Amino acid sequence: MPVNLDELKNATNLRGRGARAGGVFVAPVDNRAHVSGERSVPLLDKTIPALFSDTVSKYGTLDAAVFVDQDKRFTWSELSDTVDALAAGFLALGLVKGDRVGIWSPNRWEWLVTQFATARIGLILVNINPAYRLTELDYALNKVGCKALVTAAKFKTSDYLGMIETLAPEIAKATPGKLKAQKLPALKIVIRMGEENSPGMFNFGDVLAMAGRDEHDSLDRISEKLKPGEAINIQFTSGTTGAPKGATLTHGNIVNNGNFVTSAIKLTVDDRLCIPVPLYHCFGMSMGTMGCVSKGATMVFPGEGFDAGATLKAVAQERCTGLYGVPTMFVALLDHPDFPPSISPACAPASWPARHARSR
């Protein structure tokens, strides 16, 4: 049945456009598929490293990120130094602008650092779902031609290192950085998280310490040549009705997504945003981490994956003023025996529930 635009203009569920006083309903003109929306607020014409640098220069000594389960904290300056160390390490490994770097991990501090280190030098970060199994991992790595993979050792019942060894048994005898795998022909470099070492792989900490002065000195020169319209991230669709499809995002896509969402919820530098949603998804890495960067707000990660009790504990312990989640997460929080958490006046957040609760 054809859409009645006159009825739509009076609808109350158009995300506020037609219902608000002075709002203008945006509809296709002359049967064209393209719609030009609201333009009163300009887009940010910045790359990810440019916006990140601005935030570091303004709020260097303030908290940037807290990983509660890993007991890891960064100020903005500390996060910037770690990002630069990894970016320089990537250069020392021979990675160059445009190379694809996969990230296969739950929510860990290494994920966050990898996100901004790849963007720092124009490497295209490829988000790999932590729930992927062998076939899906094989498909994702080969579909986009990942040259490097940053991986956790495991997550829940998934043995990541074991699956990598199954797909690329050659890694057992390979020199780190020189993998030649029949099933993964583009993959040359595997970097594993954690303190342990694995055959044919670099340790994440070793890559952080790998670069020399030349690599560090080249970081700013590389970042300055990046453009907001250049590709910087690939995220895969769920693959519910077929093979997952890689959606390519630019610096500008991610910067403005994060900026506009956090502006809509009125996030500021004084806020602390709890992020239990996964980083591999746009909710976590665009609306979450990039959104916090755009405002200087603190990112708080309760754990590697969602756990209602750990999230409630993180909100109370870290005095979070904002909380992201999908409806099932909020239901689990409300049904949890620790809700509402016992909070002493000295560590109570601005309000409970968090004043920036956000469901997608």
One pLDDT digit (tens) per residue for the chain, 360 residues: 444 444 434 433 344 444 444 555 667 777 777 777 777 889 999 999 999 999 999 999 999 999 999 999 999 999 999 999 999 999 999 999 999 999 999 999 999 999 999 999 999 999 999 999 999 999 999 999 999 999 999 999 999 999 999 999 999 999 999 999 999 999 999 999 999 999 999 999 999 999 999 999 999 999 999 999 999 999 998 777 778 889 999 999 999 999 999 999 999 999 999 999 999 999 999 999 999 999 999 999 999 999 999 999 999 999 999 999 999 999 999 999 988 765 433 333 433 444 555 555
Which CATH code is given to the segment(s) 76-249? Answer: 3.40.50.12780
What pLDDT is recorded for position 31? 77
What pLDDT is recorded for position 8? 39
Domain chopping of the chain, boundaries: 76-249, 251-359
Relative to beta strand 158-159, strand 154-155 is: antiparallel
Which CATH code is given to the segment(s) 251-359? Answer: 3.40.50.980
Cα dist. 217→78, 221, 232 in Å?
Answer: 18, 8, 22
Relative to beta strand 231-236, strand 246-250 is: antiparallel
Cα dist. 238→38, 124, 187, 281, 306 in Å?
Answer: 29, 20, 23, 10, 19
- Which of helix, strand or coil describes residue 218? helix
Q: Do domains 76-249 and 251-359 have the same CATH topology?
A: yes
Are the CB atoms for 104 and 160 separated by under 8 Å? Answer: yes
Sequence letter at residue 24: V
Are the CB atoms for 273 and 320 separated by under 8 Å? Answer: yes
Task: Write phi, then psi, for 139 (nearest 5 degrees).
Answer: -60, -50
What pLDDT is recorded for position 240? 75
